[in-house]
Amino acid sequence: MKSVDIEVDEGKILGKTIGYPKCYCPEILVPIPRHLNRDIYGITNPDNLFCGYDTWHAYECSVLTDSGVPVTFILKIVYPSTSQYIVESKSLKLYLASFNMERLGTTKEFAIKEFISRVKRDLQNALKTEVQLGIFEYTYPQQPLTGYEGYRCIDNQLDTYNIQISNYTETPALLQESCTNGEERYCTHLLKSNCKVTKQPDWGSVYLYIKGDNIPTIESFIKYIISLRDENHFHEEICEMIYKRLSDMFHPDELAVTCLYTRRGGIDICPCRASNQELLNQTLQNHKYNDSPTFRR
């Protein structure tokens, strides 16, 4: 691992087009001396003026297990106002994104532990201070979204973290028939794709309603959603792609797919496609109704 250069100029990142790292990249972190801004305001002895801390919430953190299954969680970062440096936000975003395709452990728990170890070490090297980290896993359901109360999260329905994953580009052949009929309401929070233009990572949840003579197996549906992880498409295109693949393969009597993406730049996009109007989420499409965001969003 390269050491972090604490004297690096913030111009290394700001105002430049920087591609998202494809692998773990601690050297992209940019520390900025606190005194540069404090000097402007005559804050020459901050310890006598105030005490405090900086708190960050990173909602889009993810790593892979050794078997290739995504682990997603929220990261909380806290460090004191007495630190010599702050971390430049764009560099932190790029740094955390550099973990997206990193395989960090045989189990979910070990992968998270390794992630915490690396982030704590790298931030403390850059900021020259003690850094406290908190990890919050998504609990399902934490707050049921109106209209989706009956959907069951399938992320923990089977031993997901023992599934072997190797496809990260859209692979419809992963979808397998369960040879059972009926109707199912699934949701998974393992959706990740990339913006078609900027290639920035987009995170979200998929809500699937399907009814017919055949429905996909839970394991194959999860594998298919994970295969979108390195696709470059708009949110609406991802939703329509999922819908079309399911329609072509399973020929359901009824089908609805909703993709609830996390906010980026203060905006989230939540496309919904269904085989008939009655299957559309009425509150989601009602411009007069403001639904409370879920923890994932």
DSSP string spanning 110-135?
A: HHHHHHHHHHHHHHHHHHTS--EEEE
Residue 70 CB contacts under 8 Å (≥ 6 apart), including other chains? 62, 63, 64, 190, 192, 226, 229
Euclidean distance between CA atoms 216 and 237, whole angstroms: 21
Tell me whether residue 110 is exposed, middle or buried, using C-beta atoms within 10 angstroms of its C-beta: 0 to 12, 13 to 18, 19 or more.
middle
Indicate which residue of 187, 202, 270, 272 is catalytic.
202
Euclidean distance between CA atoms 45 and 39, whole angstroms: 10
- Among residues 203, 199, 188, 197, which one has the least CA distance to residue 264? 203
- Residue 202 falls in the annotated catalytic set: yes
Instruction: Give me the residues paired with residue 132 across strands.
Output: 78
Indicate which residue of 5, 153, 195, 268 is catalytic.
195
Catalytically annotated residues: 195, 202
